[in-house]
Amino acid sequence: MSGNPPSHHDPAASRVAGPGPWGPLPGHARTVIVGGGLAGVELAAALAGHGAEDVLLLEAGPGEELSHIHMTHPRGPATEVVFAPDRDPHFHRPWLSDAPPHYTGISGLRCRLGGRSLYWHGVILPLEDWALRPPAWPAEVVADLTTTAAGGPSWYDRVTADLTAWSGGVLWDPAQPARTPFGGREFHPLPRACRHLPGTDRWEAYTALAAWRGPGGRPTPPPGVRVRCDTEVLAVDVRDGRARGVRVRAADGTVATVAADTVVLCAGTVESTRLAAQALTEAGALRAPRLGGLADHIVQGFVVRLPAGRLPAPGSYHLPADPVLRSYLRMDVYDEGHGEALLDVRVTGEQLPNEDSVVECRPSAGQPWRAHVRTELLPEDHKMIGGQRDLLRDFWAAAARELGLPATALEFAGFGDADRDNTRVLPDHTRGQSTGRPETWASLLGTEDHEGGSLPLGRLLDARQAFPALPGLYAAGPAVFPRLGAANPSLTTIALSRRLASLLAAG
């Protein structure tokens, strides 16, 4: 997504981009989806399921390779693709951080058809009822997700059933017991929508794109959906107080306008927020192109190499979230061979939305306007960070006692120390760790890939995921969560994309 930004009134704008590998860019589509990642592909697939016609999915990155990274790489190299993004040609950070080191380093997009759905781990947890409730979330959205939607099962139940079927009927290793006692706690298996390649260590997490993999690796979208890759959306086309389409730049630098009745932003939280802020400002609905509420999960943990024999079996485990701490504890056990295992323990907690955590565009003659990101922690977040550390210390003390090891105290660096971030779990680092000596780490904000909250439902968006201030414009993805809760976002992202498809299809 680089190149010379054209001026807003570039005469080239009226030309239609050359055919390229994806065929000519249509001049009009009924529904344009901006961004072909987890939320966008799910939305397109669900719209097709409703018989929608004339859906155009625009993706900035390429679409030739549609495999999950854990299908193409063994665990070590796949982890490095995530944690050492210079090894990933698709890594791209379109924003600048005004709060470094947060939103720097591994914080960014994976710019390709599929987006981060080709990287994610498939962990699907519903948002906790202490976060997913009115007034933060609109009551009708809460009811649709958790109780019943359109007279049928809730969206959470429908998506969980489909993802369980996709995964081969189970969401965890059937050999894992329902409860695993360890460190004075009773762990549950962590639900993951994944399927394994038999006889190998390769696996993939759910993506709606799996159903689109056609001959020669090219996506074969369902009838009614057209896909244009290598096509970056520069701005929403705003005229007469309505979203009328999008302005795009193709790989060859040609700029064009695609008219649309409906535009849905699914470009990842920061990019969708940039596009919305810019459009709302042009429409006169915002005084300046700046939107608050940006949040990520606050995650910290420790990793320790241990003799394998007395640890739970390799796998992923978790405890239900603690409503007071707004966090949940997760434990992964990896078999390292030679009688050793790696114990990776982390607490994931909710950063509360606040108006000083913002995505802000600096208007410029050319497009796209550059997004700047800032983040702040509230006093409640700082308190949570302390509480998470107490939980990790207590858990390690209990686990070490159980294993008959000396309980070395866990030492933490200041939150936001870039030398002690989540890249500590890279195999290059853990390989050299001494047995029995835990090392702590804390993720920098923006590096969990769970960023959301800056286009909140019930405030900037109505319960139909539409911008009341700019008819014709909608959004999907974690950006629309008014509160993140502690759960990983994607079960809710998928459920909301399907819900939006059914609302749009119903007209």
Ligand X SMILES: Cc1cc2nc3c(=O)[nH]c(=O)nc-3n(C[C@H](O)[C@H](O)[C@H](O)COP(=O)(O)OP(=O)(O)OC[C@H]3O[C@@H](n4cnc5c(N)ncnc54)[C@H](O)[C@@H]3O)c2cc1C
Name the residue nearer to ligand X (CB basis): 306 or 475: 475
Please give the radius of gyration of the chain, using alpha carbons only, rounded to the nearest integer.
22
Q: Give the residue, chosen from 63, 122, 289, 353, that forms a contact with ligand X under the rule CB under 6 A.
A: 122
| Residue 490 near ligand X by CB under 6 A | yes
Pairing of strands 225-228, 55-58: parallel
Stretch that binds ligand X, among 265-273, 302-310, 338-346, 438-446 (CB under 6 A): 265-273
- Asked if 369 and 330 count as a contact pair (C-beta separation under 8 A), the reply is no
Contacts 24+ apart (CB under 8 A), 407-416: 408/436, 408/437, 408/438, 410/302, 410/438, 410/440, 411/440, 412/300, 412/440, 412/442, 413/440, 413/442, 415/298, 415/300, 415/377, 415/382, 415/385, 415/442, 416/101, 416/102, 416/442, 416/444, 416/445
Least separation, in Å, of the C-beta of 493 and ligand X? 6
**Identity (one letter) of the amino acid at 153?**
P
Smallest gap, in angstroms, from Cβ of residue 190 to ligand X? Answer: 9
Is residue 501 a contact point for ligand X (CB under 6 A)?
no
115 binds ligand X (CB under 6 A): yes
Instruction: State which of residues 33, 45, 59, 127 lies at the interface with ligand X (CB under 6 A).
Output: 59
Closest by CA position to 250, among listed 12, 5, 20? 20
Distance CA 33, CA 43 (A): 8
Is beta strand 203-205 parallel, antiparallel or unpaired with respect to 225-228?
unpaired
Question: CB of 403 within 8 A of CB of 340?
Answer: no
The three-state DSSP-derived secondary structure of 443-458 is: CCCCCCCCCECCCCEC
Q: Which stretch binds ligand X (CB under 6 A): 6-14, 120-128, 322-330, 394-402?
A: 120-128
- Indicate the burial class of 175 (C-beta count within 10 angstroms; 0-12, 13-18, 19 or more): exposed
Residues 326-385 that bind ligand X (CB under 6 A): none
Q: Which residue is nearest to ligand X (CB)?
A: 37
Beta carbon nearer to ligand X, 115 or 396: 115
Among 39, 280, 299, 484, binds ligand X (CB under 6 A): 39
Residue 87 one-letter amino acid: R
**Residue 270 CB neighbours (<10 A):** 24
Q: What is the DSSP string of 214-260?
A: -GGG-B-PPTTEEEE-SEEEEEEEEETTEEEEEEEEETTS-EEEEEE
Angle at 136 between CA 461 and CA 485, to 5 degrees: 105
Give burial (CB, 10 Å; 0-12/13-18/19+) of 39: buried
Residue 96: name the closest of 352, 271, 278 by CA. 271
180-239 binders of ligand X (CB under 6 A): 232-233
What 3-state class would DSSP assign to 369?
A: coil
Binding segment for ligand X (CB under 6 A), chosen from 47-55, 113-121, 211-219, 411-419, is: 113-121
Q: How many residues bind ligand X (CB under 6 A)?
A: 36
Q: Which is nearer to ligand X, 94 or 438 (CB)?
A: 94
Q: How far is the CB of 25 from ligand X (least distance, A)?
A: 13
CB under 6 A: which stretch of 194-202, 262-270, 277-285, 334-342 binds ligand X? 262-270
- Of 137-145, 263-271, 282-290, 420-428, which segment contacts ligand X by CB under 6 A? 263-271
- Based on the shown chain and the rule CB under 6 A, indicate whether residue 58 belongs to the binding site for ligand X: yes
Residues 415-454 that bind ligand X (CB under 6 A): 449-450
**Residue-by-residue DSSP string for 413-451:** PPTT-GGGSGGGGSHHHHTTPPTT--EEEEPPTT-SS--
Of 128 and 449, which CB lies nearer to ligand X in the complex structure?
A: 449
Q: Does 167 bind ligand X (CB under 6 A)?
A: no
Give the one residue of 6, 189, 268, 349 binding ligand X; rule: CB under 6 A: 268
For the bound state, the minimum distance from the C-beta of residue 232 to ligand X, rounded and expressed in Å, comes to 5
Return the residue of 117, 254, 262, 357 that touches ligand X, per CB under 6 A: 117
**With respect to ligand X, which residue has the nearer C-beta, 399 or 423?**
423
Q: Which of 17, 109, 291, 325 binds ligand X (CB under 6 A)?
A: 109
Among 29, 60, 238, 445, binds ligand X (CB under 6 A): 60
Binding span for ligand X by CB under 6 A among 109-117, 315-323, 394-402, 411-419:
109-117
Look at the block and give the residue holding tokens 């983040």. 375
Answer for which of 45, 47, 123, 495 binds ligand X (CB under 6 A) is 123
Using rule CB under 6 A, residue 61 touches ligand X:
yes
Tokens of 211: 């159903």
Among 477, 483, 485, 500, binds ligand X (CB under 6 A): 477
In whole angstroms, the minimum distance from the beta carbon of 112 to ligand X comes to: 6
Nearer CB in complex with ligand X: 410/490: 490
Q: Which listed residue (8, 30, 121, 393) binds ligand X by CB under 6 A?
A: 121
Residue whose pair of structure tokens reads 């990933």 in the numeric block: 88
478 binds ligand X (CB under 6 A): yes
33 is written with which tokens? 């989806």
Q: Which is nearer to ligand X, 116 or 420 (CB)?
A: 116
CB of 39 to ligand X, least distance (A): 3
Helices (H) and strands (E) in the chain, counts: 9, 24
Burial 69-93 (b: 16+ CB within 10 A, else e): bbbebeeeebbbbbbbbeebebbbb
Considering the complex, state which of residue 167 and residue 493 has its C-beta at the smaller distance from ligand X: 493
Interface contacts to ligand X, rule CB under 6 A: 34-40, 58-61, 82, 109, 111, 115-117, 119-123, 232-233, 266-268, 271, 449-450, 477-478, 488-490, 493
